[in-house]
């Protein structure tokens, strides 16, 4: 995880390590996903939901829905309930 020091996002971002569509607020989306210990599908759903307004719009919402649908369809097998 990146250390932002005072919590502010640097004015200049490296498009490879800090793409603008993944950095909103005080932490990067990857930091939130890691700190919540989300699995692959949940992490991807969060990723697409967090970036849809600044990257691919409706396409990203559809991608998030795809991952959520996978989670719903496999809920009993994957999450044991």
HEC states along the chain? CCCCCCCCCCCCCCCCCCCHHHEECCEEHHHHHHHCCCCHHHHHHHHHHHHCCCCCCHHHHHHHHHHHHHHHHCHHHHHCC
Q: Could you tell me the residue range of the domain that residue 39 belongs to? A: 20-79
Tell me if 73 is assigned to some domain.
Answer: yes
pLDDT at 26: 75
Count of domains observed in the chain: 1
Tell me if 6 is assigned to some domain.
Answer: no
Tell me if 1 is assigned to some domain.
Answer: no
**This prediction's pTM:** 0.70
Residue-wise pLDDT for 13-58, tens only, equals 666 666 665 566 678 889 999 999 999 999 999 999 999 998 999 9
Tell me if 57 is assigned to some domain.
Answer: yes
Tell me if 44 is assigned to some domain.
Answer: yes
């Amino acid at each position: 995880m990146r250390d932002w020091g005072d919590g502010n996002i640097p004015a200049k971002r490296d498009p490879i390590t800090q793409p603008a569509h993944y950095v909103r607020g005080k932490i990067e989306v990857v930091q939130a996903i890691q700190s919540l210990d989300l699995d692959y599908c949940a992490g991807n759903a969060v990723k697409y939901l967090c970036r849809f307004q600044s990257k691919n719009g409706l396409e990203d919402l559809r991608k998030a829905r795809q991952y959520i649908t996978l989670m719903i369809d496999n809920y009993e097998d994957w999450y044991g309930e």
